[in-house]
Structure 1
């Protein structure tokens, strides 16, 4: 999941990460990611991007 968690910072898309970390199915990757993180990868990565752009400490 480390690769998936650093993907937003690298500008990677969900399918790129899915296949790079060894999943053969985007649906399976999305389901498993949501089980582990509590939200689908796209939502998680948007949240990370938003937090990174917030100037508050």
Structure 2
């Protein structure tokens, strides 16, 4: 599973299962997408299984 898929699943979980407000989900979304952009800029792995391999 890659970061984008994991983020999308997590945001859906927050909205549907946890019933978080739209503003809260948007805040998480912004932060996690910023993190994903950071990984891309620094040529880091986007696959979750590769993130643990050093």
Q: Which has the higher contact order (CA 8 A, sep 6+)?
A: 2
TM-score over 0.5 (shorter chain):
no
In the superposition, the TM-score normalised over structure 1's length comes to: 0.35
Higher Cα Rg, which structure: 2
In the superposition, the TM-score normalised over structure 2's length comes to: 0.36
